[in-house]
Amino acid sequence: MLLVDTHAHLNFAAFDADRETVIENSLAEGIFMINAGANFESSRAAVQIAQKYETGVWAAIGLHPLNLSGQKRISRDLPEDFCEDGFSAEKYFPLAESKKVVAVGEIGLDCYYKPKTNIKIETMKAAQKEALRRQLLFARETDLPAIFHCRMAHQEMIETLKEEFAARGKIAGVLHCFTGGLAELEAYSDLGLHIGLNGIIFKMDLNEAVKKIPQERILLETDCPYLAPPGLAQRNEPKNTMIIAREVAQIRGGAPESLIAAANQNARELFRI
Ligand SMILES: [Zn+2]
């Protein structure tokens, strides 16, 4: 493999019409992938997809904070019944038995879509934190690294992880779709996490932090079908990980080849693939 797209969603409906073609094209170019679940059904789909391929396609399983019942709905291509009342480890354990499952994710906090009253905001945050804590426990019990999602909630994310790691020990993982500055980079690094970079670097100016990420902490990803690099088809796909690699290398002022080699090594080590 040349590179692993460490955060893709070939398990989502956006790829229903041509999923196998997209996966095969990516694999032919040496771009392997981890498809992340966002709830039980999409986690199960990620595992089923991974099982079709001898190598090169893996799965992460987990409940995304916006797929908790009672959260304000988002415009993702997921039906309403994708929501779950909370994270149930019993429900997800059978999925974790597959050797193709290499992480718990994506899990975390998302305060982008805020309800109108303070009470509702607090209820939402409490439910998200509870689901996150349960899934950290699940990651410990299954001995898997975690893929963290965090939007507009860095401070709370860092506090929650600090508390959890102090009480029960660190969990290896990646803060995917990094959107922080130097302070957040330092905090996540102290927590021992890797940093996932994707096409959001074309939309936000993250250069200051991107330059400072230790090379052994960098992971590359697409978050496809979302966050396509500019000038390409709106639907992102794993092979565009190379475009992210070149852009990140340019921001950091190094050769893409050494970044690609390092990111690939980092992914293989973290996810044991
Ligand atoms: Zn994602």
Rounded to 5 degrees, what angle do the CA atoms 39, 44, 3 make? 95
Residue 75: is its pLDDT beyond 50? no
CA of 18 to the centre of ligand 1 (A): 19
Residue with more model confidence, 45 or 85: 45
Report pTM: 0.95
Tell me, in angstroms, the distance from the centre of ligand 1 to residue 107's CA: 9
Q: Which long-range contacts (CB under 8 A, 24 or more apart) does 16-25 make?
A: 19/49, 22/237, 22/238, 23/49, 23/53, 23/57, 23/238, 25/237, 25/239
What's the CA-to-centroid distance between 157 and ligand 1, angstroms?
A: 17
- What is the residue extent of each domain of the chain? 3-271
pLDDT at 23 over 90: yes
What's the CA-to-centroid distance between 61 and ligand 1, angstroms?
11
Please give the distance, rounded to the nearest whole angstrom, from the Cα atom of residue 36 to the centre of ligand 1. Answer: 6
- Give per-residue pLDDT as tens, 170-216: 999 999 999 999 999 999 999 999 999 999 999 999 999 999 999 99
Q: What pLDDT score does 72 carry?
A: 56
Going along 152-239, which residue ranges are E strands? 173-175, 194-197, 218-220
CATH class of this structure's domain 3-271: alpha beta
Mean pLDDT over 33-40 rounds to 96
Mean residue pLDDT across the chain: 94
Q: pLDDT of 109-142, one tens digit each?
A: 998 887 888 888 888 899 999 999 999 999 999 9
What distance in angstroms lies between residue 113's CA and the mean position of ligand 1's atoms?
16
User: 141 alpha carbon to ligand 1 midpoint, in Å?
Assistant: 23
- Model pLDDT, residue 78: 54
Neighbours of ion ligand 1 (CB under 5 A): 223
8 CA from centroid of ligand 1 (Å): 7
